Amino acid sequence: MNMPRSVQRDVSAPRLTSGPQQARRRPGGDGRRGRPRSAMSACLAIAIVSLAAAVCAPSALADFGVQEFSGEVLNRDGTPATQAGAHPFSASTTIKFNSHDVNGQPVPDADVRDITVDLPAGFIGNPNATPKCPQQELYTSDQLDCSPATQVGWAQFGLTDYLPLFNIYSKVYSMEPPEGVPAQFAMNLTGLIVVLNAQVRDDGTYGLTINVPNISQLVGIVETRLTFWGVPADRAHDEYRGICLTTNIGPIGIQCPTDVPRRAFLTNPSNCDAGPLTTSLRASPWADRSIVARGSFDHDVRGNAMEVENCDVVPFEASLDARPVSQVAGAPSGYVFDVNIPQDDNPDGLATAPMKKAVVKLPEGVRVSPSAAGGLEGCADEEFRLRSAGDARCSDGSKVGTLRIDTPLLSRPLDGSIYLGRPLPGQLLRIFLVARGQGVTVKIPGSVNPDPNTGQLSAIFDNNPQLPFSNLHLEFKGGPRASLSNPPVQGTYTTVTELTSWSGKTVTSNSTFNITQGPRSLVFAPKLTAGSTDSKAGKSTGLSFKLGFSRTDGDEEFNGLTVNMPKGLLARLAGRTLCSEAQAAAGTCGEGSRVGSVTTAAGAGTNPFALPGRVYIGGPYKGAPFGLSIVVPAVAGPFDLGTVVVRAAIHVDPITTELRIVSDPLPRILEGIPLQIRLVDVSIDQPNFMINPTSCAVMNVAAQLSSTLGKIANVANRFRATDCALLPFRPRMRLTVGDRTHTRGGDSTPVSATLNMPVGNANNRAVQVILPKTLAARLEVLNVRKACTFEQFKAERCPINVGSAVAVTPVLRDPLKGSVYLVRHPARRLPDVMVALKGQGDAKALSIDVTGKVTIPRDLRIRTTFDTVPDAPITMFRLNFRTGRNAPIAAVDNLCTARARRESIAELAFVAQSGKRASARQRINIAGCRGTSSGRRAAGRRGRRSEASNRAR
């Protein structure tokens, strides 16, 4: 059966019609026919001798090509060597170039210059199987030969100048390679040296390529047959070794043994799934290197498919050892990984199959440390250059470790670097391994897949080179910026690895290490820092409020927090644009709603990575009148994990106006990367936004922090304003009763109280109003049985109201408005006066309740005491009691009498949050009486209406 072949010429290359050729001659001058020094002189000589000048037509170069390219890999008995992983007896190849006949002698169409042969991936030669011949020995030896111990094969050449055609034999030696060449072989061809450089391809297959460069034009090669020995020191090759193989005759029938140990030089692939294995060839002539002739074969000369079989019997034993450099729990640490694959150098056995895939599952608790992100970069694919010639061009900023590969094919290890690959969609963590040495550069990509819920890491390196190695040593950087952090507590941890060979066999390797320092169990004792940048009471201008909480590596991670602010520490919402719910949820609030900044530090160790962010104020959230949107772009080094938005509800105590901030759970893991949040610093620093209390009482900023494991920590920071005595306190109240129809004795009468506070004053803590005896309580209205319950009041289901109220505060853009109700109190005989104030506009979800205690002592004067006034700046507060059936107050006598006006004096008492007091006897303004300006106006209106009525009648 004829062997299928594929031979072709690159038709895209230009065809030359003529070109100079270097003269060939027989080295040593043995009297054989020589060749002319150029193509033109050769044609002239042949034309004179044979009268056939046409045979040297200038177009001969255009026919340069490979007529035959074939080969075979054999066992000792001459059968095809198809056992996977075996060391064949020999591997041979034949190359025949296109030629034409001149005077009965074949002449190549063009002199070949370079030959490149790509061997199948996995078919390897070990240059360390024999000693190596020094370069000077081949070139300067009197015998023009190297030591027989360095011989790895032999070759036959069909040269134009020799008849019969195949009459030149040459020995193939393993040479000491020059720098940058992993292995070199050479032949002494009748005094001319032919060099074969072995290289590892960088096309991703890492198969071996043999380059034969700059073949001398002094020999015209028509055909060549090259044989490499599987075990060079095998006695079966002795008749082709050393002086036993002569240049012109070949083997002369004697034995030339060598005393070097038998070691395998050739090894079959271990991959039985590859199908027929293809060997390909490229050749170029001297006249024009752009012309490329090609050939390939995947069947041997007998027509047998060149493939391997029985991969299941190829041995593969491998293990992985993983260990941290530091044994401190929770700390960043360098990590060392060693993949060990013992190699079998028995030339009569099967080689160990190369590793195809490694899946390494690290113990849960070994995590990517965000602390590593500081200054970290990522290597792009175009910088890694996986399938491009030459070294990678990754930056030092992307280097995360070093590596070393020990291989039996090279006399020295390959050294290299571990780089962090730039993330791709769906591939956040990528690792690039680059090792180099002795002219070999190996580039291996890998992916690291973190569990999205736990962060447990699994690394995968697939389709690794089909090259043997005994040890792969990976060492990731340590120190505060280490890429990995240890499990958080002491213990024994196991790395589970699955290693799969190219022969299809998978082995599992478990490696344990101990964490012996640090906590044996996690605690939760976080720290809190909080306070205003200026403690001056009532301060607003230039004031910032800062709050921070932190934990150590030995603490459980944060889940959420609730912060109770001191009474009177408020925020000025007037002038702020509240962020909409949709924007707050998406983290896209505008600058008009920004109120502060935040810094989040994430990662283990002493140098967690800081991420800046912003704080925005929004409208109602989770039942609270206001909310915060804390927005942190999660960009760390080359990683962009998107925008993290943490929401928080701002509750306002309806009695004290204390702020209580309740956060949603803090993010713990993003795309499988545990954040390990160590510190959160919030600064509410928008100008004139925060307002200090006007009370100098000792208070606390109290926080309740929860952990991801359910623990609760209550922490507090002392808070106290200063210089309260410097605040002025000048409250002013105006009281008005009556109107044109409600001044008679026994009638209900309206009562209006307006309190004005100058800006910059201390806020009120208590206000008491004692009405004069000219006013009396309507007991049928104040009857406690008719008052609503507190539950009804909170549910806004009180059946009647007794008045209305409005409050103006610089904290809000719009005033607070509401109704006044009588609400039962179990400890008091009379119901309380409760004012239910509601926010307007953006603050419509805000509710503030003001409570007045009503007492009527023996002197029958109505006393109303508001002793729980919140420490909030109220520039104006007006309370109006209604008239009619539900009116709470009536006139005792006619209010328009001189005596009533004279006796209508209220007693006022004020207590400031700062402790200052003020009191006054305030004459009540009586409206609707004739003779007073208000009375005259009312009488005039009554007269005009009466006159109009009479006219109508």
Q: Which amino acid is at 909?
A: A
Q: What is the pLDDT of residue 164?
A: 55
Beta carbons of 412 and 377 less than 8 angstroms apart: no
> Of 161, 88, 99, nearest to 126 (Cα)?
88
Token pair in block for residue 110: 């063009």
C-alpha to C-alpha distance for 96 and 165, rounded to whole angstroms: 12
Residue given tokens 């009533």 in the structure block: 900
For residue 477, the number of C-alpha atoms closer than 13 Å in the C-beta half-sphere is 21
Q: Which amino acid is at 460?
A: I
What is the per-residue pLDDT across 885-914, written as a single tens digit (0 to 9) for each? 999 999 999 999 999 999 999 999 999 999
What is the per-residue pLDDT across 205-254, written as a single tens digit (0 to 9) for each? 899 999 999 998 887 899 999 999 999 999 999 999 999 999 888 899 99
Q: What is the pLDDT of residue 464?
A: 95
What is the per-residue pLDDT across 582-607, written as a single tens digit (0 to 9) for each? 999 999 999 999 999 999 999 999 99
Residue 43: band (very low, low, confident or very high) from pLDDT cuts 50, 70, 90: very low
What is the per-residue pLDDT across 149-194, written as a single tens digit (0 to 9) for each? 999 999 999 887 655 555 789 999 999 999 989 999 999 887 789 9
- Classify residue 152 as left (phi > 0), alpha (psi -120 to 50) or beta: alpha
The mean pLDDT of 810-837, rounded to a whole number, is 94
Token pair in block for residue 898: 């001189």
Beta carbons of 668 and 544 less than 8 angstroms apart: no
On the question of pLDDT at 321 being above 80, the answer is yes
User: What residues contact residue 169 under an 8 Å CB cut-off, 6+ apart?
Assistant: 154, 155, 156, 157, 245, 246, 247, 248, 249, 250
Q: What is the pLDDT of residue 943?
A: 39
C-alpha to C-alpha distance for 617 and 629, rounded to whole angstroms: 6
Q: What is the pLDDT of residue 8?
A: 41
C-alpha to C-alpha distance for 651 and 779, rounded to whole angstroms: 37
On the question of pLDDT at 832 being above 50, the answer is yes
Q: At 291, give phi and psi (nearest 5°).
A: -80, 125
Average pLDDT, the chain: 89
| Helical residues (DSSP H) of 272-351, grouped into ranges | none
C-alpha to C-alpha distance for 61 and 576, rounded to whole angstroms: 85
> Of 39, 541, 482, nearest to 285 (Cα)?
39
Burial class of residue 582, CB neighbours in 10 A (0-12, 13-18, 19+): exposed
Q: What is the pLDDT of residue 436?
A: 93
On the question of pLDDT at 496 being above 60, the answer is yes
Q: What is the pLDDT of residue 22?
A: 36
> Of 760, 740, 885, 739, nearest to 810 (Cα)?
760
DSSP 8-state assignment for residue 948? H
> Of 173, 189, 170, nearest to 245 (Cα)?
170
On the question of pLDDT at 844 being above 70, the answer is yes
C-alpha to C-alpha distance for 287 and 18, rounded to whole angstroms: 9
The mean pLDDT of 261-278, rounded to a whole number, is 95
The mean pLDDT of 736-759, rounded to a whole number, is 94
Q: What is the pLDDT of residue 203?
A: 83
> Of 932, 804, 943, 934, nearest to 878 (Cα)?
804
On the question of pLDDT at 200 being above 70, the answer is yes
Residue 379: band (very low, low, confident or very high) from pLDDT cuts 50, 70, 90: very high
Q: What is the pLDDT of residue 527?
A: 97
DSSP 128-187: GGS--B-HHHHHH-TTS---GGGEEEEEEEEETT-SSSEEEEEEEEEE-PPTT-SEEEEE
Residue given tokens 């009527």 in the structure block: 856
The mean pLDDT of 254-282, rounded to a whole number, is 95
Residue given tokens 């193989």 in the structure block: 245
Q: How many whole angstroms from its chain centre is CA 512?
A: 27
Residue 387: band (very low, low, confident or very high) from pLDDT cuts 50, 70, 90: confident
Q: What is the pLDDT of residue 281?
A: 98
What does the H/E/C string look like for 465-508?
CCCCCCEEEEEECCCCCCCEECCCCCEEEEEEEEEEECCCCEEE
On the question of pLDDT at 51 being above 50, the answer is no
Q: What is the pLDDT of residue 162?
A: 56
> Of 887, 536, 859, nearest to 738 (Cα)?
887
DSSP 8-state assignment for residue 305? B
| Helical residues (DSSP H) of 330-477, grouped into ranges | 381-384
DSSP 8-state assignment for residue 581? H
> Of 229, 164, 234, 161, nearest to 192 (Cα)?
161
The mean pLDDT of 49-58, rounded to a whole number, is 33
Q: What is the pLDDT of residue 570?
A: 96
Least trusted range by pLDDT, from 469-478, 655-664, 737-746, 762-771: 737-746
pTM higher than the cut 0.85 = no
C-alpha to C-alpha distance for 429 and 432, rounded to whole angstroms: 10
User: What residues contact residue 358 under an 8 Å CB cut-off, 6+ apart?
Assistant: 320, 339, 459, 460, 461, 464, 497, 498, 499, 500
Beta carbons of 124 and 468 less than 8 angstroms apart: yes
Beta carbons of 455 and 641 less than 8 angstroms apart: no
The Cα diameter of the chain in Å comes to 159
The mean pLDDT of 826-839, rounded to a whole number, is 94
Cis? peptide before 164, omega within 30° of 0: yes
**Percent residues over pLDDT 90 in the chain:** 80
659-663 vs 558-564, strand pairing mode: antiparallel
On the question of pLDDT at 16 being above 50, the answer is no
Q: What is the pLDDT of residue 926?
A: 95
Higher-scoring residue by pLDDT: 783, 456? 456
Three-class SS of residue 334?
coil
Three-class SS of residue 89?
coil
User: What residues contact residue 139 under an 8 Å CB cut-off, 6+ apart?
Assistant: 193
Three-class SS of residue 108?
strand
Token pair in block for residue 51: 């009268």
Token pair in block for residue 187: 């032949």
Helical (H) or strand (E) element with 934 = helix 933-952
Helical (H) or strand (E) element with 23 = none
User: What residues contact residue 890 under an 8 Å CB cut-off, 6+ apart?
Assistant: 746, 747, 748, 749, 775, 776, 777, 778
Beta carbons of 256 and 242 less than 8 angstroms apart: yes
Beta carbons of 239 and 253 less than 8 angstroms apart: yes
What is the per-residue pLDDT across 25-40, written as a single tens digit (0 to 9) for each? 333 333 333 333 333 3
The mean pLDDT of 438-448, rounded to a whole number, is 94
C-alpha to C-alpha distance for 563 and 547, rounded to whole angstroms: 9
User: What residues contact residue 804 under an 8 Å CB cut-off, 6+ apart?
Assistant: 817, 818, 819, 820, 880, 882
Token pair in block for residue 673: 């990367």
Q: How many whole angstroms from its chain centre is CA 172?
A: 53
**Percent residues over pLDDT 70 in the chain:** 90
Residue given tokens 């005792």 in the structure block: 892
Task: List Cα–Cα distances, 63 to 11, 13, 299, in angstroms.
Answer: 11, 12, 26
Kindly report the number of other CB atoms within 10 A of residue 631's CB atom: 20
Least trusted range by pLDDT, from 245-254, 334-343, 397-406: 245-254
Kindly report the number of other CB atoms within 10 A of residue 136's CB atom: 9
Q: What is the pLDDT of residue 144?
A: 56
| C-alpha torsion angle, residues 330, 332, 333, 338 (rounded to 10) | 80
The dihedral of CA 181, 185, 190, 191: what is its sign?
positive
On the question of pLDDT at 642 being above 60, the answer is yes
Residue given tokens 């599992």 in the structure block: 508
- Classify residue 892 as left (phi > 0), alpha (psi -120 to 50) or beta: alpha
Q: What is the pLDDT of residue 101?
A: 87
Q: What is the pLDDT of residue 689?
A: 94
DSSP 736-780: EE--TTS-STTSB--EEEEEE--TTSPPEEEEEEE--TTEEE-HH
Q: Which amino acid is at 690?
A: M
Beta carbons of 613 and 598 less than 8 angstroms apart: yes
